[in-house]
């Protein structure tokens, strides 16, 4: 059985449309962790201060869960469990103040603590309250706080775990999740050399099993069943037309994101600035070299001890004054995903311990997304945006005018001229 699972994992890792390559190795995935943590801190603060409200729609929790659900494949539908269902009065954390505070305490404990014991104890505490409709779907929030301790959770992951192990884990109960978690930890320990300390990898494997992309090895010691399974595993599967379109669109998104970063890199250099490229994007291929070629390898003023430094180093593009080494402008490229993570990184830069007199904060996105971005900025989670004077820089304007700006422009005035101030209505 061990050899069969090993063969399954090896095949899955090489599958360009499987969750390992399309989500787990996706650079944008890593950028979401800090922003989701910040969002959950805001949820905890609002619950503690009594300002969270009595509805999911428009709440800070909706903003965070929405940013999780918009990720590729594995978290689609993550918001279903939190949607307020009035007739059923679930999940009962909106209109019941005591339950709401207990939910806030769970998040607060998991935000502050780093040990398995503390988090499991917090789960037992929330489970003891028997809050109607608030079950293991919350584990998707906890995963982004402690990815090496808490595996993600959804129907497909449970189905995949049951198929692979012969278990009968049921949905909706914390004790079932905790039992499955122990099994997942053992499975991950056995195959860690092929998976990761981050439980998102094994979660992705179980998701692809449970969603039917792969079949689990036969549990019985039957040679015929084994051969049939191996034949299925090695068969070149024909992707559906829909899956092919989705995969092509995701790859195009990554390509476009890098291209826009490349334009901003070259434009910054032409205008006489030093340029910083997001730490996890520097090695991306661009033109005849790497995206980080000719850019700063160290971000001045942001050491490992600087509050928010990790987040700032993930901003897509920064322009710095060559003499003072101060950051002049920050650019977040938002091609198709939620703007939440980018805004949080800008907040860390503009309001953190190393806050600087920035001349420009820019969201760079397709022309057609401006209305969507303005709508998202109405959320309570983005209440500080008006103070930051973030500007919207459309792809079309950047593509059309970047060459002329590079030749004749000075400072940020030309970029400001082709962008629009984003002030929530």
pLDDT digits (tens, 9 = 90+) for 158-183: 999 999 988 888 888 999 999 999 99
Residue 316 and residue 278 in contact, taking contact as beta carbons nearer than 8 Å: yes
Burial 385-406, CB ≥16 within 10 A → b, else e: beebebbbbbbebbeebbeebb
What stretch of H or E contains 328? Answer: strand 327-333
Which of the pair, 380 or 313, is modelled with greater confidence? 313
In this prediction, residue 17 carries a pLDDT of 84
If pLDDT is split at 50, 70 and 90, which confidence band does 22 have?
A: confident
| Residue range 90-114, pLDDT digits in tens | 999 999 999 999 999 999 999 999 8
DSSP letters for 59-103 = SHHHHHHHHHHTSSGGGTTTTGGGS-BTTTTBSTTSS-HHHHHHH
Residue 276 and residue 282 in contact, taking contact as beta carbons nearer than 8 Å: no
What is the rounded radius of gyration, in angstroms, for the C-alpha atoms of the chain? 23
| Residue range 233-251, pLDDT digits in tens | 454 344 444 555 555 555 5
If pLDDT is split at 50, 70 and 90, which confidence band does 253 have?
A: low
Count of CB atoms within 10 A of residue 175's CB? 12
Residue in the structure block whose two tokens are 């779907």: 137
If pLDDT is split at 50, 70 and 90, which confidence band does 218 have?
A: confident
Both tokens of residue 421?
């101030």
Mean pLDDT (the chain, rounded):
86
């Amino acid at each position: 059985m061990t050899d069969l699972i090993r063969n399954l994992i090896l095949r899955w890792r090489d599958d360009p449309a499987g969750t390992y390559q399309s989500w787990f190795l996706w650079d944008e995935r890593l950028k979401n962790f800090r922003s989701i943590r910040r969002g959950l801190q805001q949820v905890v603060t609002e619950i503690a201060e009594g300002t969270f409200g009595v509805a999911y729609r428009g709440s800070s929790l909706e903003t965070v869960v929405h940013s999780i659900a918009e990720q590729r494949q594995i978290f689609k539908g993550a918001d279903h469990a939190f949607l307020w269902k009035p007739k059923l009065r679930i999940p009962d954390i909106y209109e019941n103040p005591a339950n709401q505070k207990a939910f806030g305490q769970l998040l607060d404990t998991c935000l502050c603590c780093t040990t398995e014991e503390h988090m499991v104890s917090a789960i037992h505490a929330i489970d003891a309250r028997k809050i109607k409709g608030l079950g293991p779907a919350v584990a998707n929030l906890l995963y982004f706080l402690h990815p090496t301790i808490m595996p993600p959770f959804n129907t497909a992951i449970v189905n995949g775990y049951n198929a692979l192990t012969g278990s009968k884990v049921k949905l909706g109960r914390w004790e079932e999740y905790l039992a499955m978690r122990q099994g997942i930890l053992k499975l991950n320990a056995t195959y860690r050399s092929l998976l990761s300390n981050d439980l998102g990898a094994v979660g992705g494997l179980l998701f692809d099993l449970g969603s039917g992309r792969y079949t689990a090895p036969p549990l019985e010691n039957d040679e015929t069943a084994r051969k049939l399974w191996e034949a299925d595993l090695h068969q070149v599967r024909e992707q559906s037309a829909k899956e092919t379109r989705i995969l092509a669109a995701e790859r195009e998104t990554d390509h476009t994101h890098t291209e826009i970063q490349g334009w901003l890199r070259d434009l910054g250099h032409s205008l006489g600035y030093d340029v910083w490229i997001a730490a996890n994007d520097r090695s991306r291929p661009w033109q005849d070299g790497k995206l980080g070629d000719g850019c700063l390898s160290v971000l001045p003023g942001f050491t490992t001890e600087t509050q928010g430094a990790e987040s700032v180093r993930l901003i897509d593009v920064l322009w710095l004054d060559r003499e003072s080494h101060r950051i002049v402008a920050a650019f977040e490229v938002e091609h198709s995903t939620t703007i939440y993570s980018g805004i949080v990184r800008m907040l860390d830069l503009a309001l953190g311990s190393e806050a600087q007199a920035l001349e420009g904060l820019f969201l760079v996105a397709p022309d057609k997304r401006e209305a969507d971005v303005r709508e998202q900025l109405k959320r309570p989670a983005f209440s500080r945006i008006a103070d930051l004077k973030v500007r919207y820089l459309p792809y079309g304007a950047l593509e059309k005018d970047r060459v002329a700006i590079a030749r004749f422009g000075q400072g940020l005035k030309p970029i400001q001229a082709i962008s629009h101030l984003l002030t929530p209505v």
